[in-house]
Structure 1
Amino acid sequence: MSDLQRLFLGFALSDQECESMLKLQKRLGEPGKAVAKANLHMTLAFLGPTSQAQRHALETALTTVSLPIFEQRLDTLVHWRGAGVLCLCGEARDPGLIDLYHECQSLCQTLGLHQSEHSFNPHITLFRKAKHYRMPEWQPEPVILRPQTLQLYRSNSGPAGVRYEVLKSWPLGRA
């Protein structure tokens, strides 16, 4: 049996940020399957199938990486038809967050993990299985994320769907 786990790095939302996302989901109707409150997050880096050795090396490396406090504005609805997701997105402008993204991509390369072929696009997925969706005429109120920790998540698939489990956390604010 394989010891590979499907992992990613991301940022949990505060209760207030989650409530804003749930209200936005409700306003959008049902363009697909709504992401459950417990699964709402902003991804920093998708790691893909990860061995125990790779996970341990990553966790060790992250204890030495600069983890700055940052703010991320999310203010635009985006429908990625190919992926079938509807997201709330924003432009990456905070230098600390951008540097952290590049540092994580470098760690992924060193450890033989997945590296994104796209530029960093901060977003929160609101709906999955949204293949056909006509965007509303309005844009949502901006949400400003102010995460406190970086999280290592495991994606667990089960009969009830996917559930994201936090495996480890690192407080932000370490320069």
Structure 2
Amino acid sequence: MRYFIGLDLSPANKLALDSWREKSLPELPRVKMPLKTKAPIRQPRPVPAANFHITLCFLGSVSPRQLEAVTECLAEVTSEPFELSLDTTGFWSGPKIFYVGPEQVPEPLSELAAKATAAARQADIAVEKRDYQPHVTIIRNVKADFPPPLFPPSVVCQFSQFHLFESVSTQSGVTYPIRQSWPLRNTNSVREKLLRGNF
């Protein structure tokens, strides 16, 4: 069983992002398969809108004991709700993905990702050490010469909870059902708010 901790976009946000992808990205030319080719040609593959999400921490394959431990740790995480603007795009050559992300990462999101990672490590789950860069993967199997969008995205998301997702392979593709959820709520004291300048 493979899991990750993440944020789920609202149905309206998913539809808006899907609509932007359809309108802003040039139609890709169809590549005809050579008759004697055994291996299929890998073409850019749009991610289904239902699968749009933002990963906070990828857990990978975990044991039942680790799964129980990490859910207990995540239940103790406190973080405030926040807004996120998906307003830029990018390409990663390693995993060959085209993604949408925020130009500016809000502090509550960075803190939540750090807390999710700390919870995973507390549950003895080995996670990658790298800078956190929130993104929504919208196209896979992308090459470096993939044409840029005609105009940037502009989707504003509100997040008030985070989730434990499972990655499930089916005959029709991969799905990411939510297995558990936790609310985001501002639990800071008045003194802490004053120190942070929230008043």
- Distance in structure 2 (CA, Å) of the matches to 1:143 and 1:102: 24
- Distance in structure 2 (CA, Å) of the matches to 1:92 and 1:166: 27
Given candidates 1, 6, 28, the residue that maps to 2:2 is 6
* Corresponding position of 2:154: 142
Which 4+ residue blocks in structure 1 deviate beyond 4 angstroms? none
> Is 1:19 the equivalent of 2:28?
no
> Is 1:69 the equivalent of 2:89?
no
1:123-150 CA distances to partner (integer Å, 9 max, x unpaired)?
1110112234434264413222212220
Q: Paired residues, what number?
A: 171
Structure showing the higher strand proportion among its residues: 1
Q: What is the Cα deviation at residue 170 of structure 1?
A: 1.0
- Structure 2: which amino acid aligns with 1:122? P
CA contact (8 A) 2:88 2:103 kept: no
- Considering only CA atoms, is the larger Rg found in Structure 1 or Structure 2? 2
- Structure 2: which amino acid aligns with 1:8? F
CA contact (8 A) 1:49 1:113 kept: no
Q: What is the Cα deviation at residue 7 of structure 1?
A: 0.2
Range moving further from structure 2, 74-83 or 141-150: 141-150
Flag structure 1 segments of 5+ consecutive residues without an equivalent.
none
TM-score, normalised relative to structure 2: 0.78
- Structure 2: which amino acid aligns with 1:72? L
CA RMSD of aligned residues (A): 1.9
- Distance in structure 1 (CA, Å) of the matches to 2:149 and 2:66: 45
- Aligned partner of residue 83 in structure 1, secondary structure: coil
TM-score, normalised relative to structure 1: 0.88
Flag structure 2 segments of 5+ consecutive residues without an equivalent.
29-42, 188-199
